[in-house]
Amino acid sequence: MSKKTYIIANWKMQLTNKEAADLANSLKHESIKTLKQNIELILCPSFAALSAVAEAIKKSEIKLGAQNVFYHEKGAYTGETSPSQLKELGVDYVIIGHSERRQYQKETNEEINQKIKVCLANDLTPILCVGETFEERQIGKTDLILIQQITKALQDVKLNNNQNLIIAYEPVWVIGSGQAVEPKEAQHASAVIRGLLPEFFSHEIIKNNISIIYGGSVDESNVMDFIKPGVIDGALVGGASLKAEKFLSLIRAVETE
Ligand code: PGA
């Protein structure tokens, strides 16, 4: 059985709750007719809009994702949201370690590691984001950064046959820039990441349960330059997922391949 192709919309903090629900509704109406079985379409609105989006995509194949989670189950953690609270809302996926959180919330690799573990313990699939900054790239440290981020994030992480992990390579400097990296650079990053996985997981788990995707200025015109089954199994999409027509063109571009 071939693996799914993931199309993941990261709406960041870009939409009002109503705009998020309306967008989810439009996507549901259109994609219900067309969404191919092997495509997993995941919408990640901000926390405040999760319920409204969950309601909008009810009875469709579209899945719900969150943009973050806290690493404790319960307790005096003002402002945080637990994995089981997300699960209760119908969330199946969680973006973890997005570069914007690493930058603005100072999220560390150690916290990211805990968040991955807590997701897996709660039947949530982590979407782990890794990638180098422009400065790191300039001094030739891209591979090193990927190695550090992956080895710290995956320390003592265990996956069973029923659990999945998605790793998104997102070069920080192209996010939101309108200019993606060359597909061969994304393929190189995928190979570096893949090369690290046997340290943590069995061959079977790597083959069946782990997917590597690309994110950073993906749109309908370039998405298929990146997707290559077994190498890059999907895209994490920010700006190009915020308008129904544009995002649907991207989905259709993936479907027609
Ligand atoms: P972008 O964002 O598609 O707007 O570059 C991607 C992301 O940050 O996940």
Q: Encode burial over 123-140: b for 16+ CB neighbours within 10 A, e otherwise.
A: ebbbbbbbbbbeebbeee
Q: Which CATH number fits domain 5-255: 3.40.50.720, 3.40.50.10330, 3.20.20.70, 2.40.30.20?
A: 3.20.20.70
Q: Which of 40, 100, 170, 220 is catalytic?
A: 170
Residue 30: predicted pLDDT: 82
Give percent above pLDDT 90 in the chain: 93
d(CA 249, CA 32): 14
Residue 34: predicted pLDDT: 67
Asked if residues 5 and 229 have their Cβ atoms less than 8 Å apart, the reply is yes
User: 162 versus 33: which is more confidently predicted?
Assistant: 162
Residue 3: predicted pLDDT: 82
| Ligand 1 center from residue 38 Cα (angstroms) | 23
Reference 232, options 256, 251, 254; nearest CA is 254
73 belongs to the catalytic site? no
Query: What are 151's two structure tokens?
Result: 């080895």
Residue 33: predicted pLDDT: 64
100 belongs to the catalytic site? no
Q: Helices then strands (H, E): number in the chain? A: 11, 8
User: Is residue 164 within 6 Å of ligand 1 at its C-beta?
Assistant: no
Give 257's pLDDT tier (boundaries 50, 70, 90).
low
Residue 45 CB burial class (10 angstroms; 0-12, 13-18, ≥19): buried
Asked if residues 133 and 180 have their Cβ atoms less than 8 Å apart, the reply is no
| pLDDT single digits (tens) 68-120 | 999 999 999 999 999 999 999 999 999 999 999 999 999 999 999 999 999 99
| pLDDT single digits (tens) 166-221 | 999 999 999 999 999 999 999 999 999 999 999 999 999 999 999 999 999 999 99
Q: Looking at ligand 1, which atom is closest to the CA of residue 174?
A: 5
> From the CB of residue 110, how many other CB atoms can be counted at a distance below 10 Å?
12
Residue 157 scores a pLDDT above 60? yes
Nearest C-alpha to atom 3 of ligand 1 is from which residue?
238
d(CA 178, CA 9): 16
Give 256's pLDDT tier (boundaries 50, 70, 90).
confident
